[in-house]
Amino acid sequence: MVTGRTKMKGFVKQMGLMFLCLVCLSLMLTQKVFAVSGISTDELVKSSEVIIAGKVEKASCHWSKGTVVTRATVKVSEVLVGSIDKKDIIVEYEGGKVGDLELKLTDAVSLTKGEEIILFLKTGQSKLNGTVFVIEGEAQGKYTVKNGIASKNGFTCEKNMDIVDNNIPVKELVAKIKTNQ
């Protein structure tokens, strides 16, 4: 025998499935709206205040102003463009994990303790406090350096991927950076 309670459970289940389908559809449509265009090394150099080579010393995530923010300390081994007074700088970006809450963004950069990196930077206002460095071009403004090769990841280009320098010898990338300053 079908009761009112059984019908209500079925209705709630259908509404839940419809809601889930709408969420999935909106996520698929959003991906197209936020299509990433490739950024050349020349463009990154021109739009950056400072470009450094260094190593991530630590990274910690914080909850601030309704979002998750990661703050990383980077030990600077070389300033390629611009000038900075410190050997340790603070780089901040949106995303990360606090407790069970994890925030991942499209084209978002991430820094991991121990990584050797080249970063294209601008100064910006911290979501926590003070002034920090932010990565120009999001994930495209970070190169990970391994075995003399500088590589990018964490993003997918819908167009202009051919202008993105990726998996390039570090010496060649540094020469391009210094030539374009």
DSSP 95-152: -EEETTEEE--TT-----TT-EEEEEEEEEE-SSSSEEEEETTGGGGEEEEETTEEE-
pLDDT at 24 over 60: no
pLDDT at 170 over 50: yes
Q: What is the pLDDT of residues 59-103, one digit of tens each?
A: 999 998 888 999 999 999 999 999 998 899 999 999 998 988 888
pLDDT band with cut points at 50, 70 and 90 for residue 154: confident
CA distance 160 to 181: 22
Q: Average the pLDDT over 4-32 and give the result.
A: 49
pLDDT for 157 equals 67
pLDDT at 117 over 90: yes
CA-only gyration radius of the chain, Å:
21
CA 120 from chain centre, in angstroms, equals: 12
Q: What is the pLDDT of residues 103-114, one digit of tens each?
A: 888 777 899 999
Q: What is the pLDDT of residues 25-64, one digit of tens each?
A: 444 444 444 457 889 899 999 999 999 999 999 999 999 8
Query: What SS3 state is found at 153?
Result: coil
Hey, what long-range contacts does 168-177 have (CB within 8 A, 24 or more apart)? 170/118, 170/145, 173/41, 173/118, 173/143, 174/53, 174/80, 174/118, 176/41, 176/42, 177/41, 177/45, 177/51, 177/80, 177/81
Contact 69, 128 (CB under 8 A): yes
Share the mean pLDDT of the chain: 83
pLDDT for 18 equals 52
Q: What is the pLDDT of residues 122-152, one digit of tens each?
A: 999 988 888 999 999 988 999 999 999 999 9
